[in-house]
Structure formats: structure tokens, C-alpha cells
Chains A and B, each alone.
Chain A
Amino acid sequence: QSVLTQPPSVSEAPRQRVTISCSGSNSNIGSNSVNWYQQVPGKAPKLLIYYDDLLSSGVSDRFSGSKSGTSASLAISGLQSEDEGDYYCAAWDDSLNGVVFGVGTKLTVL
């Protein structure tokens, strides 16, 4: 069981905006930055957002990240069918002394 909690699934219509939450604790999100990955079916994960809100090279500015306290969010605006896939948050955990991933959220574009 992951120490970072994400909703199992979210769905929204094309061209709309969706947010994916990631909840942790003081030992991870509360004291370290959050990063977000996208994984489309059959492919390797891809870095989207790092250090809470920095856009990875080549990633569309429709993606944005934010953090407050022990929670973080990934927002995707102007949804497109190609955005469908699984989204994972990740952070360093000071208690575990390692990297922790969220359980992942499956995004469906209706």
C-alpha cells in the first residue's frame, strides 16, 4: 500500500479541465517536492511536472502542478483524447529514506 494517496480514477469531457490529487504526510510531501508522471498504456512513464510546479521539457503547458501542505495536485486543461492514461505522483520520503509513488490515477477522456 502506497504512502501517497490518489483517487483511482477521474474522467472528464474533451476540452474541459481535470485535477488529480495526491495526499501524503509530513515525511514526504510536507517536506519534499512533488513530481508527476504520465503513463499511457504499453509505454514507459514520462516525467510531466517536477519540483512541485516545473514543466518537464517538451511537455504541453496544459499540464500544471501545485502543492499545499501535505497535498499536491496535477491539473490538465483543454483535455484531449491523447491525455488518457495513468498518472502518478512521486516524492522523497524522509522516514523510508527512499522514493515513494502514489497508487496512480486512471484518466478517462469521455
Chain B
Amino acid sequence: EVQLVESGGGLVQPGMSLRLSCAASGFVFDDYGMHWVRQSPGKGLEWIAGLNWKSSIVGYADSVKGRFIISRDNAKKSLFLQMNSLRAEDAALYYCAKDLTAGISPVSDHWGQGTQVTVSS
């Protein structure tokens, strides 16, 4: 059974940093691309970053480009999101999602339950 478990969320002040993690199991992690998708309270889904199986192709939404860094450790079957210079508008539930392919595509066939990030002073 595919499992994606996010962690690392919490309350952080504006301008500070936070690192999210996603532990994967139940599939061959280094065969698939991975994504971070967020959802602000009462709002829709927003793709924020994705990378392919070997991290050679990486993409970011304009809203986080230059502030967030997505990475993966295939040996540890883990996905990460380093979030710097956090803003109030970054507050959201952050989902880790598995791509159907080895690349970056809009098809995510498995999702974690999310980790909550709150940005407030």
C-alpha cells in the first residue's frame, strides 16, 4: 500500500524558515516524480513544486520561486520542502503527492494527509 506521511509543519513567524518532510513507502520511490501541493483554509489546490525521479527536472510556481526549494533523498525514500522567507499567504495545508510518471506531470495518483503550516507573529 502506498503511503505518504508529511511532517515538519507548525507555527512560524513571517520571514522565518521551515522544512517539510514526506516519508514514502509502498512503492519504488526513485521510479516516480514527486510534488508539493498546498491548500489555504477554505481555498482550492495550488501546485507549488515538483521534481522528477532523479531531481534533474525541477519546477516551481511563481508564488514560491526563489524562496522554496524542493529536494529528495531516494536512498531514504523522502521528499523535502525547504521554505524560506515565509509570508502570511504561505499559511496552508501542505500535501506531498506522488506523480503517476517518472517526470513532473499534473497526474498525482497518491497523496498524503498533509501537514499544516501557520505563519503568524
Interface residues of A (CB under 8 A from B): 2, 32-33, 35, 37, 39, 44-47, 50-51, 56-57, 86, 88, 90-92, 96-104
Contacts and interface: CB of A to CB of B under 8 A. Distances in A.
B74 to A, nearest CB: 22
A96 B104 CA distance: 13
Given A98-B60, A98-B61, A99-B35, A47 B47 contact: no
B46 interface: yes
B106 A47 contact: no
Contact of B44 (A35, A57, A88, A96): A88
Contacts, number: 65
B64 to A, nearest CB: 10
Contact of B107 (A50, A86, A101): A50
B109 interface: yes
A8 B113 CA distance: 24
B100 interface: yes
B111 A2 contact: no
A86 B100 CA distance: 22
B111 A104 contact: no
Main secondary structure of the interface of B (DSSP, over half): strand
Interface residues of B, number: 24
A44 B106 CA distance: 16
A46 B112 CA distance: 10
4 residue pairs, one from A and one from B, having the closest CB atoms? A99-B47, A44-B111, A104-B44, A90-B106
B106 A96 contact: no
A91 B60 CA distance: 15
Given A96-B62, A98-B60, A98-B61, A47 B44 contact: no
B108 interface: yes
B47 A100 contact: yes
A32 B61 CA distance: 18
